[in-house]
Amino acid sequence: MIDRYTRPEMGHIFSLENKYAIWQEIEVLACEAQAELGACGITKEEAAWIREHAAFNKEEVDEIEATTNHDVIAFLTNMGSYIDAEVPEGEPKPSRWVHYGMTSSDLCDTALCYQLVQATDIIIEDVRKLGEICRRRAFEERNTLCVGRTHGIHAEPMTFGMKFGSWAWELKRDLDRLIDARKNVAFGAISGAVGTYSSINPFVEEYVCEHLGLAHDPLSTQVISRDHHAYLAGVLATTAATCDRIATEIRNLQKTDTLEAEEPFRKGQKGSSAMPHKRNPITLEKVCGLSRVVKANAQVAFDNVALWHERDISHSSAERVAQADSFIALDHMLSCLIRIVDGLILYPARMQANLDLTRGLIFSSKVLLALVDTGITREDAYKIVQRNSMAVWDDVHAAVDGPNLRERLEADPECTVSSEKLDEIFDPWDFLTRIDTVFDRLEQLSFEA
């Protein structure tokens, strides 16, 4: 991922330095396990020496790889040189025990899963923060009236707090899925060339995984099956889709014609090189764009599940790009939304103006039910309300003054609803007499660990 979207903590997880540090720890742990077993020639003293002297230099690894064209061999060669550097001439070299009985995938796959756990932990905390902000803002805007829209058309009154609350619940579901996906990918495998432990005792796998906080794969081939990774990628994509939903909603509400909400516009920020008046939702647009990357990368992970026999390397190149990019992009998206939702600017006066924009049409459903209550059939009631509503729409479309829906209904001899009942119906709060249920449920929502 380009530096522009890479936050330091997440970027470090997918850096070569972090990967090599994990590789080193796995190799050292494997040596300690072998010494504990006493199954090969390594002694506990040699394992302790390896623990103390193990090191690597990224630049030196790169130089070696330029010759070997094999990153694991290059790393092991470099690590071994540091382990043996202070060994007296003529003495056995402790580095000979490093990678004993292992294959490259034992190292790479276990390390990768460890990295994915590290990265998922950051995303989990991001989602917790954003979810808590959405929940808090839901209660802050509990009674902020706005119009609800379906198909982009005004529907019925609601409150802006319900929007925040809906996002909070979705983020909680994302959080639950992320926690489950973290558990699902937290596996290691040190089982040899095709998973038979032909040259290494299963105890080594158990020892290494336990010290890394991973479960040991119950049956790996040469690799840990990629359904683990695909499930995680799918959960990342779903979380990205949530971010897309939030950002898209705010973008739509920031349109000049609507202008009910606006992402924070920083002092000194410029919106357009040509139009000085512009205040564009550029950060939200960035979130929507990056969500496409994360969602598309999920397909890469699904395609990586089907490898040849016990393993091929077709997954490797794709993973090196897609996994890091997905995590880095999603981390950046969530950090943007944390700032935007927390500081989201709302315009209640514009919300009220939009409630009034359609001249009472948003109350049509209540009128329909009131007519039915007077004894009229639903079909006839629908015709009465629709006929008057279409006349109001014609005036709205033509931008001409004319009777609003209530005035037209009062003038319609077929309307059997009393004036007193119309007073009740055309009060927006009449739609919201039961929203306490929504917020009582939201009270129970928690993002705590």
Q: What confidence tens digit (pLDDT) does each residue in 298-348 have? A: 999 999 999 999 999 889 899 999 999 999 999 999 999 999 999 999 999
Can you give the pLDDT at residue 247? 98
Query: Considering the chain, what is the average pLDDT of its residues?
Result: 95
* Final residue in a domain of this structure, among 74, 97, 120: 97
Alpha-carbon span 284 to 21, nearest angstrom: 36
Query: Which among 406, 432, 413, 418 is positioned nearest to 373, based on CA atoms?
Result: 418
336 and 367 fall within a common domain: no
Are 117 and 173 members of one domain?
Answer: yes
Do 255 and 193 fall within a single domain?
yes
| Closest CA relative to residue 112, chosen from 175, 197, 20, 181 | 20
What is the rounded distance in angstroms from the CA atom of residue 374 to the CA atom of residue 417? 7
Residues 195 and 286 in one domain: yes
Is residue 226 located within the same domain as residue 89? no
CA 3 to each of CA 8, 283, 325: distance values in angstroms, whole numbers, following the listed order: 9, 16, 11
Distance CA 78, CA 74 (A): 6
Flag whether 139 is in a domain: yes
Q: Is residue 416 part of a domain?
A: yes
> Do residues 408 and 388 make contact, with C-beta atoms less than 8 angstroms apart?
yes
pLDDT digits (tens, 9 = 90+) for 93-116: 999 999 999 999 999 999 999 999
In this structure, what token pair is assigned to residue 182? 């973290």
Domain boundary among 353, 369, 390: 353
| 346 and 389 both lie in a single domain | no
Judge whether 329 and 298 are in contact, CB under 8 Å. Answer: no
Question: Can you name the residues that pair with 154 across neighbouring β-strands?
Answer: 149
Would residue 283 count as lying in a domain? yes
Whether residues 261 and 118 share a domain: the answer is: yes
Rounded distance between C-alpha atoms, residue 220 and residue 107, angstroms: 13
- pLDDT tens track for 172-227: 999 999 999 999 999 999 999 999 999 999 999 999 999 999 999 999 999 999 99
The predicted model gives 400-405 an average pLDDT of 92
Whole-angstrom Cα distance, residue 221 to residue 285?
43
- Cα 138 from Cα 300, distance rounded (Å): 36
pLDDT the model gives residue 213: 98
| Residues 162, 84 share a domain | no
The catalytic residue positions are 151, 272
143 and 210 within one domain: yes
Kindly state whether residues 331 and 379 are assigned to the same domain.
no
- Read off the CATH number of the domain in which 120 is found: 1.20.200.10
Q: How many residues does the chain have?
A: 449
Query: Any idea what DSSP says for residue 361?
Result: G
Of 298, 331, 353, the one marking the end of a domain is: 353
pTM: 0.93
Task: Provide the domain limits for residue 48.
Answer: 13-97
- Partnered with residue 215 across adjacent β-strands are 187
Q: What is residue 279's predicted lDDT score, i.e. its pLDDT?
A: 85
Based on the domain organization, do 93 and 119 belong to the same domain?
no
Q: Is residue 35 part of a domain?
A: yes
What pLDDT was estimated at residue 272?
63
Is 394 within a domain? yes
pLDDT in tens, 40-75: 889 999 999 999 999 999 999 999 999 999 999 999
For residue 441, is it within any domain? no
Cα angle for residues 361, 153, 347 (degrees, 5° grid): 90
Q: CATH code at 79? A: 1.10.275.10
The share of the chain scoring above pLDDT 70, in percent, equals 98
The answer to the question of residue 3 being in a domain is no
Specify the number of domains making up the chain.
3
**Angle, alpha carbons 445-292-254 (nearest 5°):** 65
Beta bridge partners of 157: 147
**Rounded-to-integer distance, Cα 33 and Cα 102, Å:** 13
What would the DSSP string read from start to end of 46-109? HHHHHHHH----HHHHHHHHHHH--HHHHHHHHHHHHHHTTSPTTSPPGGGGTTTT--HHHHHH
167-187 per-residue burial string, b: 16 or more CB within 10 A, e: under 16: bbbbbbebbebbeebbebbbb
Cβ neighbours of residue 169 closer than 8 Å, sequence gap 6 or more: 442, 445
For residue 4, tell me if it sits in a domain.
no
Say whether both 327 and 277 belong to one domain: yes
